[in-house]
Structure 1
């Protein structure tokens, strides 16, 4: 038989000890829960949000104050919420005082530099123009062209190492002194034999501009679908590596010299070309979709020969068609309207992109994860028409 003389005393002691533990536990819980509430009650919930806002503001200030180099800017494009929308300016006819009226226009590309017939770079130093553009919240990517853009002339330039070096040095110096945000190279008539020379020219220019955090973009024309970028003038893989942006010139599906009338651009054609670009080495986050602000009014004689095909601004053609009460039909494959009629023994054919068309074209940007869009050019698209689209 076990001794139970101390059993009652031991149980009572254990019970009191357990109660003390529970009281201590509850007290600690109350402290943890009540003290923060008291702090918020007396000092206000705003204190916490103020600290958060201060951190958020500081973060934004740090982002604004730090200067990314141009490669970082290009690599971060895909994370931007809004696409990069660019407007080229040809000549000096546009009223730059009203650029602010173009909503969501982020970059303006005026023609301020040209390689002349002696292969010297002629730069228009226009502080008032650049200041006006910048004051309206737009960035400046100066467009560099070659004055006589023929295959022969371009070949002569690309094979003249001395002139190439001189031009590159002057572009870099001009970008610094004129505070250009970027440089847009628009040299199109490059022959296949100059493919490597053009790539080397772009690489050397890119290396120099990158040291000054100046963005480099180049404009590339469409290639034959299915060519896979073999034996063509522009090496997509290399150019996609050297440039911050590649602008695909999504227009002149049918040229002015084309004997067969057709659209300047179309949805199916754009998509095929963009996919070809992506498959041949140009990163999506660097690829910009260039679109036309014009179309052609094709005129054919009774033998179906093209006798005239003037390029006209889209809004002008829309107005012309409406005034003459012409019937038109929607082509869902092309993503635009088609009009055909006869007047005074002349057959007229018009493929007309509208704001509806542009919405379809611009939908390719998120679908293919592209960097943005560009329009050729603002001289042919007023702010009202631009805003209807963008």
Structure 2
């Protein structure tokens, strides 16, 4: 047992060596892990005298950190911005995201750290050093580390009035960093030594280890980090793909609810059946539900013929229910578009009766609707009444600017989607709302946007963005890149949908605790978006 004088000296030394890093929990709590410290000493020859040896081994055992070689950790070596981003991704239990659209000009998409930097950028945890510049190999400073720790833990920042009384060098802290330094001090994760914070000093590997391990040693925080993902409904529409292609698309995604385009109205008031039993068998074997689409092919005349007649409505409902029973379907996705305002009551009656009939056979009903902008396009949809009788309302959060629009612009900017969702939630309970996101965008002509513009996949978007002479800039207010390039001498523009823009929309919607997300359409995406969506769902679920 240490006597009083030696104990005091040890604390002073520890305080100085930590250089502003404070452990969460007492020093003795780390001493109880002596076995781990011994193991760390055996693995790495250069950490036996490090105050951080237990923290280092904790992170190594969890796969968060690794040595610089098999036998060395180099605890005094400075940590780069890329390395800290990598540590942060692993502590938060996130996935690397190799964004198809590279956020930074000075970061190679082939670099080992690219996926981690992109993941942190998508979530607004880590920022560049200016438009398109990240400086991945620059050493991270203490004020930058403070900012990252606070953002990782989703902590609010506020007043900085106490900083001048806390640190003699408070005037050296960058203005943007002051709220974070104040917050990280209050969290107990970083504090200065001898009244100094030293904001521009580099963070060493052992300092970083203690900072990050302190997060894991906090029981409330670590419990959050260990919770399994709760994605809710993840609905994917099949479009222009074979069953084999659709299955492959679903396997690469987070989708757990399939919507193949199987049932459509025809002029004889018959519901055509394009069911593929092999997809049903596969979905059941993989634990996924199938809610085939019942569509009107955007034909207002045909739709009026059905909705305006009680006999026709009943006939269609009986056919749909027969298919549900025949194929043992989990549900039906009603996709009636371009419905006339005069058919508002007929549509409500149809959905009400169909819901009753589907519930009687154990199936659910979801109804696709556009954002309510008070126009004729959505006048036929009584959102409150449809939401009351259906199991789910799927808000198609796209077509802010549509094919044929005389004005070029975003397919789904964040403010527009957010407004549409907020409006929906005034009529429909959040547990019934599914937000559909676009896995496509539009290539716009600056000269003739209405007639010389077309839809493109995210893969096609990426090829244009990487073409010689193209330019790209992040628009923070829209939460999208705007890409510009020239074709045949005519400037063209793309308001991009990618991992970064989709992350913003997923976080916005997940924060509102809705039932889930949907994607139009499967196969339009690039593979990176699924890790981005998973990260957004997971990070937004944390309540630190």
* 1:123 counterpart = 2:273: yes
Partner in structure 2 of residue 65 of structure 1 = none
Partner in structure 2 of residue 299 of structure 1 = 445
* 1:206 counterpart = 2:359: no
Partner in structure 1 of residue 434 of structure 2 = 288
Residue 256 to residue 121, structure 1, CA distance change in 2 (3 Å)? same
Q: Structure 2: how far apart are the matches of 1:165 and 1:83?
A: 32
Partner in structure 1 of residue 452 of structure 2 = 308
Partner in structure 1 of residue 465 of structure 2 = 321
Partner in structure 1 of residue 309 of structure 2 = 160
Q: Structure 1: how far apart are the matches of 2:278 and 2:485?
A: 47
Deviation at 1:310, TM superposition (A): 1.4
Superposed CA RMSD: 2.2
Q: Structure 2: how far apart are the matches of 1:170 and 1:298?
A: 42
* 1:188 counterpart = 2:337: yes
Residue 242 to residue 378, structure 1, CA distance change in 2 (3 Å)? same
> May I ask how many residue pairs the two structures share in their alignment?
305
Deviation at 1:341, TM superposition (A): 3.4
Q: Structure 2: how far apart are the matches of 1:362 and 1:353?
A: 12
Tell me if structure 1 keeps the 8 A contact 2:403–2:450.
no
Q: Structure 1: how far apart are the matches of 2:486 and 2:278?
A: 49
Residue 222 to residue 202, structure 1, CA distance change in 2 (3 Å)? same
Deviation at 1:139, TM superposition (A): 1.0
Partner in structure 1 of residue 61 of structure 2 = none
* 1:145 counterpart = 2:295: yes
Where does 1:334-345 land on structure 2 (aligned, <5 Å)? 334-345=478-489
Partner in structure 2 of residue 102 of structure 1 = 252
Partner in structure 2 of residue 242 of structure 1 = 389
Partner in structure 2 of residue 66 of structure 1 = none
1:221 aligned residue (351, 364, 370): 370
3-state secondary structure, aligned to 2:394:
strand
Q: Structure 2: how far apart are the matches of 1:233 and 1:298?
A: 30
Residue 159 to residue 295, structure 1, CA distance change in 2 (3 Å)? same
Partner in structure 1 of residue 406 of structure 2 = 259
Where does 1:340-351 land on structure 2 (aligned, <5 Å)? 340-351=484-495
Q: Structure 1: how far apart are the matches of 2:293 and 2:249?
A: 17
Tell me if structure 2 keeps the 8 A contact 1:300–1:348.
yes
Stretch of structure 1 that moved more, 238-247 or 304-313: 304-313
Residue 238 to residue 129, structure 1, CA distance change in 2 (3 Å)? same
Tell me if structure 2 keeps the 8 A contact 1:297–1:309.
yes
Tell me if structure 1 keeps the 8 A contact 2:259–2:291.
yes
Deviation at 1:101, TM superposition (A): 2.5
Partner in structure 1 of residue 264 of structure 2 = 114
Q: Structure 2: how far apart are the matches of 1:336 and 1:327?
A: 14
Residue 100 to residue 190, structure 1, CA distance change in 2 (3 Å)? closer
Q: Structure 2: how far apart are the matches of 1:320 and 1:342?
A: 10
Deviation at 1:322, TM superposition (A): 1.1
Alpha-carbon deviations, 1:26-81, whole Å to 9, x = none?
xxxxxxxxxxxxxxxxxxxxxxxxxxxxxxxxxxxxxxxxxxxxxxxxxxxxxx93
Deviation at 1:342, TM superposition (A): 3.3
Runs (4+) of structure 1 moved beyond 6 Å?
none
Residue 122 to residue 208, structure 1, CA distance change in 2 (3 Å)? same
Structure 1: segments with no counterpart, 5+ residues: 1-79
Q: Structure 1: how far apart are the matches of 2:290 and 2:267?
A: 26
Q: Structure 2: how far apart are the matches of 1:326 and 1:135?
A: 45
Deviation at 1:91, TM superposition (A): 3.9
Residue 297 to residue 186, structure 1, CA distance change in 2 (3 Å)? same
Partner in structure 2 of residue 132 of structure 1 = 282
Q: Structure 1: how far apart are the matches of 2:333 and 2:533?
A: 24
Deviation at 1:306, TM superposition (A): 4.2
Q: Structure 1: how far apart are the matches of 2:412 and 2:449?
A: 21
TM-score normalised by L of structure 1: 0.73
Alpha-carbon deviations, 1:181-212, whole Å to 9, x = none?
11000001112221111000000000000111
Alpha-carbon deviations, 1:307-328, whole Å to 9, x = none?
4111111122113211335211
Partner in structure 2 of residue 4 of structure 1 = none
Tell me if structure 2 keeps the 8 A contact 1:91–1:111.
no
Partner in structure 2 of residue 275 of structure 1 = 422
Pick the structure with greater CA Rg: 1
3-state secondary structure, aligned to 1:128:
helix
Structure 2: segments with no counterpart, 5+ residues: 1-228, 535-544
Tell me if structure 2 keeps the 8 A contact 1:120–1:163.
no
Partner in structure 2 of residue 93 of structure 1 = 242
Tell me if structure 1 keeps the 8 A contact 2:404–2:449.
no
Q: Whose strand proportion is higher, 1 or 2?
A: 1
Tell me if structure 1 keeps the 8 A contact 2:263–2:295.
yes
Deviation at 1:100, TM superposition (A): 5.5
